[in-house]
C-alpha cells in the first residue's frame, strides 16, 4: 500500500534533532527599542536547539538594561513580567526550543543586542505560537 501524499518530517519530540550539530544563526548590532515601544522580534526559520542573547552595550557606558522574552506581551509586561533582564555586557545562554525572541530596553533609552542560535531541522510551523500564552511566557 502506498501513500503518495505522505511526507515524513521531524517534529518537536525528535530527539536526534537536538543531539545533532545545529545550523548556525547570528545577528548583531540589533537596535532594541525603548521601553513602552513595540518589542523587536527576532524570528527564526526553524526551531532552535540553543540560543545566546547579549546586551552589547559597553560595560563602561551608562547601563541600559535589555529585556528579553518569548512573547511580545511577556516582554511588555502586559499581565506579568515574563521577561529577563541583561545589563550592559551581560549574556544569557539556554537550550530552548523557540522560533522567536522578543527584545525591548528596560529604559527610556534604546540599547543594542546580538543573538546567536543553533537551528534544528524542525520546521517553524511545528511551534507556531512560540509558547505565547503559556504560563511564564505571557
Domain boundaries, the chain: 20-127
Mean pLDDT of the chain: 90
Residue 34 pLDDT greater than 80, yes or no? yes
| Backbone phi, psi, residue 81, to 5° | -85, 80
Q: Between 3.40.50.620, 2.130.10.10, 2.60.120.770, 3.40.109.10, what CATH number should domain 20-127 receive?
A: 2.60.120.770
Q: What is the pTM of this model?
A: 0.88
Contact 107, 35 (CB under 8 A): yes
Extended beta strands in the chain, E state: 23-32, 40-43, 46-55, 66-69, 84-86, 91-94, 100-105, 111-123
Interval 97-118 mean pLDDT: 97
Residue 78 pLDDT greater than 90, yes or no? no
Amino acid at each position: 500500500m502506498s501513500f503518495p501524499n505522505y511526507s515524513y518530517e521531524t517534529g518537536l519530540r525528535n530527539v536526534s534533532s537536538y543531539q545533532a550539530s545545529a545550523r548556525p544563526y547570528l545577528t548583531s548590532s540589533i537596535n532594541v527599542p525603548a521601553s513602552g515601544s513595540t518589542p523587536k522580534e527576532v524570528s527564526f526559520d526553524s526551531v532552535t536547539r540553543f540560543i545566546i542573547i547579549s546586551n552589547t552595550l559597553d560595560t563602561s557606558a551608562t547601563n541600559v538594561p535589555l529585556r528579553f522574552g518569548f512573547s511580545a506581551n511577556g516582554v511588555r509586561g502586559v499581565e506579568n513580567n515574563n521577561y529577563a533582564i541583561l545589563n550592559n555586557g551581560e549574556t544569557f545562554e539556554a537550550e530552548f526550543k523557540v522560533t522567536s525572541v522578543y527584545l525591548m530596553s528596560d529604559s527610556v533609552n534604546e540599547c543594542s543586542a546580538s543573538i546567536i542560535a543553533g537551528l534544528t531541522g524542525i520546521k517553524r510551523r511545528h511551534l507556531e505560537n512560540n509558547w505565547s500564552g503559556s504560563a511564564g511566557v505571557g
